[in-house]
Amino acid sequence: MKKRSWLSKACLAVVLVLTAGMTPAPASAAAGDPATFQGIGTTSYGGKVYFENKVTAGNKKLVSPGESLSSIQAKLDGGGIIQFAAGTYNLGTMKINKSNTRVEVNQGAVFNMSSNILFDIRPATVDAPRIQNIELSSIGPGRFTINTKGNKGGDKRPVRLTNVKNFAVSGIHINGNYEGQPFVVLVPYQDGSPGRLLVNGEQVYNPIFGLVPTQGVVQDVSATKIHGGYATVQLFAGDNVLLRNIDGENGVTVRLEPGSGKDTDNISMSGPNLGAIRNVELVNVHNKNGFAAVYLKAHAKVNRDITLTNITATDSAFAIHSDVSEFHADDKVTVTYNGQTYDVHRDRGRFENVKLKGNIKLTKQSPNKLAWFAISDLFYIDYNKREGNGDYSDYAVSICGTKRITSPVVPVLMLSHEYRSDTTFSVERGTYTLDYSNANIQSVGFSHSLATNGGVLYREDARNKNNQPLTDAQIKDY
């Protein structure tokens, strides 16, 4: 007995030594164990909390492959914790419109989409209260898979979020097919009504465009075969949002673009503030063989307080590309709604207080030309690297059909900033800058003859087909 007691004490001493200094893991750290998984837990960055897990009790409602969509929807309608087992699911739209819902997905689950939207996170109707405390996450440690199964240029949105507060989307890999939509999209609530309404003969901004996702996180999401005009994640709107560890192959990884700018773009008709992108952190965003890791275009919104940290790309054209709106001073869109026809004018928007931090890096790794670019970028390709006569048509077409192919151009292209010497910016033209004073900008494996600060080009750096600078009128002609 004494010997056994001595042995027990010795074993206890070893355990104490081995565990000294170790911090107990939070409940949410039980990733990979479906029975004990408690969500991703409180998520913060830079001292700011973006998501709090408030779904902590209740039995898990289990979903298995082969279960009908109606049965799954009934479980979602009840809220609480719904857990998808490993296996293959061929499903249409699943609506998550009840507050206090956590959807846990085994990393071995594969979803084949049979509708335009797979996970639709928003209130059931435009008049319903905002939903809160929503989580869609992989049980981990890996990511579950969504196969879009769409046609090139078609409509496939694996995850849509609208009018939701305190949300998390985490741990997803998306296999796309160059569909003409973002794969994870944050948007204002829309019901088909225009961005501007005619009330008693006066135009008023439609308030539903202020019903946007707020206070949330999208993290650990990747996608392949992204269309040149879309992204792994796109914010059409959003306030107090953290985007972290986002990857994309082809296209763009993260687009900060509230609307499309087309005459049918109701978001841009709803004025500068409703649905604007504000208080957003992007951290660890990467793109490969595409257009850019991050693309910014304001259209008609005044977007502000955005930080981009560690934005990198490999064999893409750019790491960061900031663009201007395309509305002109005489912009006019004719709207017909509820038997009324009226003209709507849109002013150009802009971005304010955008800061770049950490490593902003573009790497040329392949000897092949894999980077995608638009016609508006043509005059920023280094002159000695241009093809043919320097026409856009001299370059091979990207597989999605909307871009052309070249080598990496420059880490940061600011079409939004006309001259290096500019310290004030035109509200009318919608110009703005990116503050890179605290960033380490790097061009790896290549260089650009006109780039400064490690790899930055401004609008004035365009060179025409004869390698001549543009005139002031040409620089401001957009």
Q: What is the pLDDT of residues 315-367, one digit of tens each?
A: 999 999 999 998 888 899 999 999 999 999 999 999 999 999 999 999 999 99
Alpha-carbon distances of 239 from 27, 165, 235, 381, rounded to whole Å:
28, 10, 10, 35
- Whole-number average pLDDT of the chain: 94
Q: How many CB atoms lie within 10 A of CB 47?
A: 5
Q: What is the pLDDT of residues 185-230, one digit of tens each?
A: 999 999 999 999 999 999 999 999 999 999 999 999 999 999 999 9
Interval 264-276 mean pLDDT: 97
| DSSP 3-state of 6 | helix
Contact present, 392 and 376 (Cβ < 8 Å): no
Closest CA to 344 of 356, 357, 353, 335: 335
What is residue 31's predicted lDDT score, i.e. its pLDDT? 62
Domains in the chain: boundaries:
42-475
Q: Please say if the pLDDT value at position 96 is more than 60.
A: yes
Closest CA to 318 of 227, 409, 433, 395: 409
What is residue 56's predicted lDDT score, i.e. its pLDDT? 87
Please say whether the structural domain 42-475 has been given the CATH code 2.40.128.110: no
Rounded distance between C-alpha atoms, residue 398 and residue 379, angstroms: 18
Q: What share of the chain is helix, strand, coil (3-state, %, to 5)?
A: 10, 40, 45
Q: What is the pLDDT of residues 139-169, one digit of tens each?
A: 999 999 999 999 999 999 999 999 999 999 9
Q: What is the pLDDT of residues 308-328, one digit of tens each?
A: 999 999 999 999 999 999 888
Q: What is the pLDDT of residues 7-54, one digit of tens each?
A: 333 333 433 333 333 333 334 445 689 999 999 999 999 999 999 999
